[in-house]
Structure 1
Amino acid sequence: MNLLFSGITLPLEDPILKFLLILVIILAAPLLLNKLKIPYLLGLIIAGAVIGPHGLNLVLRDSSIILSGTAGLLYIMFLSGLDMDMSDFKRSSRQSLVFGLYTFCIPLALGILAGYYILGFSIYSSILLAGLFASQTLIAYPIVSKLGIARDKAVTIAVGGTVITDTLALLLLTVIVGMVTGNVDDMFWWRLAISVVLCVAIIILLFPVIAHWFFKHCTDNISQYIFVLVMVFLGAYLAHLAGLEPIIGAFLAGLALNRLIPRTSPLMNRIEFVGHAIFIPFFLIGVGMLIDYRAFFRDWESLKVAAVMIVLITAAKYLAALLTQKTFRLSADQRTVIFGLSSAHVAATLAAVMVGYNIILGHTPDGEPIRLLGDSVLNGTILMILATCTISTFATQRGAHNIAVKGMRTDDQENEKQNEHILIPISNEESAAELIALGNQIKSPKNHNEIYALHAIDNKAGDTGLEKRGQKVLETAASIAAASDIYLHELLRYDVNISNAIASVARERNITDIIMGLHRDKSPSVFIGKITGDLLTEANVTTYIYKPAQPLTTLKRHIVIIPPEAEKEAGFPVWLQKIRNLSQNGGVKIVIYASQTTLHYLEPLRRRKKTEVETVLFNNWDKLQHLLREIHRDECLWLVMSRRDRVSYHPIMSKVPSYLDSHLQKNSFVLIYPMQAGTGGGRYL
């Protein structure tokens, strides 16, 4: 035993032991804290305090911890931008601005008064202290993300307001430091304004263009994830160069990539997994290492400053959340979430206090430095971080849990009549990824286990290797689905022909939707292929025929063209729900062309929250060819078809194959054949 532990010294210097210890804490924290009813985030902070230099001194807060923690903080801000519903963010921009001003101005006013009149600081020190009051950190954001309410209005307002108040607080810090050091002149304001505008413009305008090109030309999973990390840290560094805090750049990078990384995509699943498993826990443990319990007993001045900061900051943030609730008529739980998310102070607060602490205004007769923010503020800030993180975690947990429970009840009521079963016939490995991606985009967000992949084998085929090949195709499909956290039912079936196999499975499994790839023969005479044509006559199921010309995530818009009287078909509400899911899951704008009568039925969809849908009047299907010519390269066409002799059938549908072959050879498109009233499908064209 002596030989085993003879090389171990404290604090730990062996990188293997340090990493092992932190991983054990990340692993054990949920198991222990669930029994004690302590939120997971707070537990990691406490664990960091215990093992840190001010606790058991097991691990120093060295450059490796700081690097991992910085990455974790940037990750939190990036995820908050990435998780936002952009349509809701646009609608809530005014609310976010109002809350941002509330949560900046109220703490700022209280901070200046407290610093100048209660603590006796100079005016510059008081203003800088007030900047600490105004800033906030979204340390509790992982709670709302895991509970699935990241797109709730309260979260959107809180995240947007955080960016606003942190930007203002850090700009205030820049100005105050410039005034104290005598660097503020006319050019100072011009340099600051130009650098900020240039930084925001590059991230918001240029990043999406670069990312769109990259995702379109690179499908390697690892390369895509590394590219995302590059964008996060590049955005953070650009913000740093502009004089802003890097967290602002990371958030803007999340907004810039929002539409290109759908919430249901495999890439999003990887981003969230790595962040919640590694980066964010490292950040929280690093925050805990800053906490020095000895500051409680060091001197009364630190305790006084800490008490003033904790009480006034908590009161100010609660008042800002209360005013926001009253202004926009939010619920009590939404107010609690806004307060919880905005009450923690870590990143920007630490940045500001360290800047103020390092500015020396002079020296005492004894040679001691006179700092803009003294030791008492530094120690008080550490205590304030512990207190506000605790309050933030508990408040967010309570409010978010209540909102999530209410949301589950609403979803259950909406989904009572839905019984979704999606079948994806897959003939080869090359088509599997995009077919599953489409299924993932149009499925209900609550559907994780009702997607089937079928590989059918014709009984007449004499090749004995077909079964092994089919199993390999299904294994590939299951692996692709697993990357999006979807369990795929694998079905291998022999039958007299492929279409009969698909139709039989559709009946046996109560399939509601079938997603098929377009036949490889590009001749208009066999446009959708014999198998698909036969299937449309044998199976009365909503069928989507998909031709992917580029990755689904790189599309900028979906154009949906609906024939007159489509609302009279039995399958109308089925595929319409899928269009709604497409907008909600993918975050891409939907433009629907339809007749006036049909648009009337679509109005609830257009007004629905969490969907971005535009409707355009289109009465004359004889002009379909002209409309198809206007579709751009990065847009996907969704054309609602009908079987011959059905209510919504239009003679021009017989010319659709030649139109698509002439005008949309390089475009992605989906042909929708809705479920029909009665049993047979009838002729498809």
Structure 2
Amino acid sequence: MLLIASPAHQEPIVPFVILLTVILVIPLLFERIRLPGLVGLLAAGVALGSDGFQVLNQESESMRLLSDIGLVYLMFVAGLEVDIGQFNQTRDRSMGFGTFTFLVPLVTGIGVGRLFGFDWNAATLIGSLLASHTLLAYPIVSRLGVVGNEAVTVTIGGTIFTDIGALLVLAICIGINAGDFSPLKLVILLGSLAVYTVVILVGVDRVGQEFFKRSGNDEGNQFLFVLLALFLASVGAQLIGVEKIVGAFLSGLAVNRVVGDSPVKEKIVFVGSVLFIPIFFVNMGLLIRIPAFIKNFTSPQLFGLTAAIVLGLIGSKFVAAFFAKLAYRYTWQEALTMWSLSLPQVAATLAATLVGYRVGMLTEGVLNSVIVLMLVTSILGPILTTRFADGLRTQNLPPEVLDLTAESGLAAIDPSRIIVPISNPDTERYLLEMAALIAHQQSGQIVPFAIAVHHGQLDTPQLQAAIKRSETLLDNAVNICKELNAEVEAVLRIDDKIAQGISRSSREQNASLIVMGWQRRSRFQERLFGSVIDSVLWASHCPVAVTQLLKSPSDMQQILVPVENLTQRSFAALQLAQTIATENQGRLIILHICDRKTSASKQAWIHSQLLLLSEKNHPAYESEVQVVPSDDVVKAILSAAHSSDLVVLRSSRRSSSAGGLLVGDITFQVAQQVPCSVVMLGEPERIARAVLANPNL
């Protein structure tokens, strides 16, 4: 084994540098060989720990601090990612399913614990580990367009009940394990916990609403407020004798409504996902001792424990979904989807396991068994969800859903007044040409828009120079619009922030569409620096077309529009592509990527519905429908894009995380790699929420 003996190795900053390197490199390498990045972090922890190169010591103060921050951040993000709105839609049934999928695994886990010789307290803690679940497969049901299905919504809402229930059981078990525990102390603990929960959920929410209202657009102070709420809640939980992860989860629920889907939430999740939460998983790897882990598979007793925990979880979650099927008269397809969604055990399970292991309630064998459980369920759950949820699309889509009617008002693009933010003279013309194409059919008006960015006094030479530059851009824009025979009205604004200036002016000008440019960057750069587009997408009242145009829009003859699912949320991008194809007398290709296991009859049904939709709405232009079976959606779209002039994508404004680690976004990956021009159409928040709230859309 390699032991670093340099004096520099004793410095706390050295382990941090090593951790940063691991977090940056290892997940990427594992994803290239089609293994989850989480597995890579655990493996790195094993390799760098006491049974490997002995580079990191999980007992060091710096490592324990960073790991603890990752632990509470993991549970905080789990609470933050819970969709309170969806829970409220089906509150009663969500609580019903939550009860089923909490109690059945809890009883099963207690039985497994008792069977393998654990006392009642430790057995109950093992049961609580199985009772929660992590919505690892949420991006899959979102991509398939079945989030509005009641069974899916109920499963998502049930997460609140299971996670809170599991953490309450953990708190009681840890309290009992501390010794000198009586019924009176149990009552005091539960009473303190009840008061504490109300204080956090109500107090933090109200204070947060007031603080965000008063702080305006100061995202820095808002971010610091959220962090303060997280760690104050964690410390408060410890003061009443409860584990800090309980406080972290409750604080996540408390600030959920405050931050919404704002850029502040994106930054909160980003910081945790790229730094603290990965460190937690590396630390979990440091706890794994290779001989003991191997013994879990070679020792009949430990192998039996591992098998019992894994099979007990899978079986009990199935029974819970079956109970929900009987109680709420769901179909088998819906019940199996609920089962697969509730299988993955990552966030709450790992956090509670670490707590139980640290206080000596859980053995190393249980720790290793839970690691195996996480690996199995985090792989099996998404695979099963892909298979079962796919069937919900045809099951829940009546023929009228495929009719893009003007009355629906949910997916239509209104080209009557299009704002075009102008900042770069090199891209100005193509942006205005694209806006003119869209506006032409209904004789819409183009509003070239420039911002003179300035902070402080309004009589400085710097502001005067910024105004002059903006006026030059607008004069040129007006001349281009006149060449294009488009009605034009230029607007100049002085503002201290670009994104807010665009959003506010689009509202003041009653814009129906925003067309803006985009530069391709890496995912890291996009998340860290690409806040202008993120902020506009979040705050705008109308659709936003984010474009990168490599040629004149008037020369675009082959238009490709990938359609993920047959729901109204796909139709705005389809309508935009239809408009461009019609104006250029070009050819539209509607591309749908389905699973390789999709039957030929189902592929034919999807093809016929998309063709019918295309012919009904725009019978004048030439169109083609392609249904392509593929396991790699990004690769299939990029392959079709090589013969296209423009790809039109729908950009989802919802970020998702799996156990706190960011999930790759198909739209982003395609936009980064596509060899031709691209338009990403983002929906305003009110429309996105309206579509999700209506199961028939």
- The answer for the alignment partner of 2:379 in structure 1 is 394
Aligned match for 1:60, one of 50, 57, 62: 57
Aligned match for 1:129, one of 114, 123, 127: 123
* CA 1:240–1:400: 2 relative to 1, 3 Å: farther
Aligned pairs for 1:71-470 within 5 A: 71-116=69-114, 118-121=115-118, 125-135=119-129, 144=138, 153=153, 156-174=156-174, 176-177=176-177, 181-186=179-184, 188-218=185-215, 219-263=217-261, 265-295=262-292, 296-297=294-295, 301-324=301-324, 327-328=327-328, 329=330, 330=334, 332-341=336-345, 345-355=349-359, 357=360, 378-399=363-384, 418-419=412-413, 423-424=418-419, 454-455=449-450, 468-470=465-467
Deviations 1:579-622 (A, max 9, x none): xx9xx989xxxxxxxxxxxxxxxxx999956449xxxxxxxxxx
TM-score normalised by L of structure 1 = 0.56
Amino acid across the alignment from 2:474: R
Residues 128, 173 of structure 1: 8 Å contact kept: yes
* CA 1:388–1:249: 2 relative to 1, 3 Å: same
How far the C-alpha of 1:153 sits from its partner, in A, is 2.0
- The answer for the alignment partner of 1:494 in structure 2 is 475
* CA 1:69–1:467: 2 relative to 1, 3 Å: same
- The answer for the alignment partner of 1:593 in structure 2 is none
* CA 1:470–1:199: 2 relative to 1, 3 Å: same
Residues 423, 515 of structure 1: 8 Å contact kept: no
Distance (whole Å) between structure 1 residues aligned to residue 391 and residue 461 of structure 2 = 54
Q: Which runs of 5+ in 1 are unaligned?
A: 358-372, 429-450, 458-462, 475-490, 521-530, 545-551, 559-572, 587-603, 613-685
* CA 1:159–1:111: 2 relative to 1, 3 Å: closer
* CA 1:108–1:336: 2 relative to 1, 3 Å: closer
Distance (whole Å) between structure 2 residues aligned to residue 129 and residue 267 of structure 1 = 40
How far the C-alpha of 1:138 sits from its partner, in A, is 7.5
Amino acid across the alignment from 2:111: L
Give 3-state SS (helix, strand or coil) of 2:450's partner: strand
Aligned pairs for 1:582-593 within 5 A: none
How far the C-alpha of 1:102 sits from its partner, in A, is 2.7
Distance (whole Å) between structure 1 residues aligned to residue 134 and residue 490 of structure 2 = 39
Distance (whole Å) between structure 2 residues aligned to residue 11 and residue 284 of structure 1 = 25
Aligned match for 1:31, one of 28, 33, 38: 28
Distance (whole Å) between structure 2 residues aligned to residue 10 and residue 142 of structure 1 = 42
Distance (whole Å) between structure 2 residues aligned to residue 110 and residue 142 of structure 1 = 22
Distance (whole Å) between structure 1 residues aligned to residue 30 and residue 66 of structure 2 = 23
Residues 85, 610 of structure 1: 8 Å contact kept: no
Percentage identity across aligned positions? 23
Amino acid across the alignment from 1:192: L
* CA 1:585–1:234: 2 relative to 1, 3 Å: same
Which deviates further from its counterpart, 399-408 or 87-96? 399-408
Deviations 1:468-495 (A, max 9, x none): 4148879xxxxxxxxxxxxxxxx93117
Distance (whole Å) between structure 1 residues aligned to residue 358 and residue 305 of structure 2 = 16
How far the C-alpha of 1:413 sits from its partner, in A, is 7.2
Distance (whole Å) between structure 2 residues aligned to residue 145 and residue 203 of structure 1 = 29
How far the C-alpha of 1:262 sits from its partner, in A, is 2.9
Which deviates further from its counterpart, 136-145 or 308-317? 136-145
How far the C-alpha of 1:76 sits from its partner, in A, is 2.8
Give 3-state SS (helix, strand or coil) of 1:56's partner: coil
Give 3-state SS (helix, strand or coil) of 1:492's partner: helix
Larger radius of gyration: 1
1:17 aligns with 2:14: yes
Give 3-state SS (helix, strand or coil) of 2:279's partner: helix
Distance (whole Å) between structure 2 residues aligned to residue 405 and residue 120 of structure 1 = 42
Give 3-state SS (helix, strand or coil) of 1:339's partner: coil
Distance (whole Å) between structure 2 residues aligned to residue 402 and residue 19 of structure 1 = 41
Amino acid across the alignment from 2:373: T
Aligned pairs for 1:642-653 within 5 A: none
Distance (whole Å) between structure 2 residues aligned to residue 115 and residue 85 of structure 1 = 33
* CA 1:607–1:247: 2 relative to 1, 3 Å: closer
Deviations 1:264-314 (A, max 9, x none): x22122112212111221111111211122113396654454444444344
* CA 1:418–1:75: 2 relative to 1, 3 Å: farther
Cα RMSD for the two superposed structures: 5.4
Deviations 1:511-555 (A, max 9, x none): 9xx9989999xxxxxxxxxx99x989xxxx6499xxxxxxx99xx
Distance (whole Å) between structure 1 residues aligned to residue 70 and residue 42 of structure 2 = 13
Give 3-state SS (helix, strand or coil) of 1:455's partner: strand
Residues 261, 268 of structure 1: 8 Å contact kept: yes
Residues 200, 251 of structure 2: 8 Å contact kept: yes
Distance (whole Å) between structure 1 residues aligned to residue 404 and residue 462 of structure 2 = 42
Amino acid across the alignment from 2:21: V
Distance (whole Å) between structure 1 residues aligned to residue 281 and residue 322 of structure 2 = 28
Residues 69, 286 of structure 1: 8 Å contact kept: yes
How far the C-alpha of 1:155 sits from its partner, in A, is 5.7
- How many residue pairs align between the two structures? 472
Give 3-state SS (helix, strand or coil) of 1:340's partner: coil
Distance (whole Å) between structure 2 residues aligned to residue 408 and residue 16 of structure 1 = 51
Distance (whole Å) between structure 2 residues aligned to residue 309 and residue 388 of structure 1 = 7
Give 3-state SS (helix, strand or coil) of 1:494's partner: helix
Deviations 1:313-364 (A, max 9, x none): 4433443345446645335344212112479732212323443x3xxxxxxx
Residues 456, 501 of structure 1: 8 Å contact kept: no
Distance (whole Å) between structure 2 residues aligned to residue 198 and residue 133 of structure 1 = 26
* CA 1:94–1:43: 2 relative to 1, 3 Å: farther
How far the C-alpha of 1:196 sits from its partner, in A, is 1.4
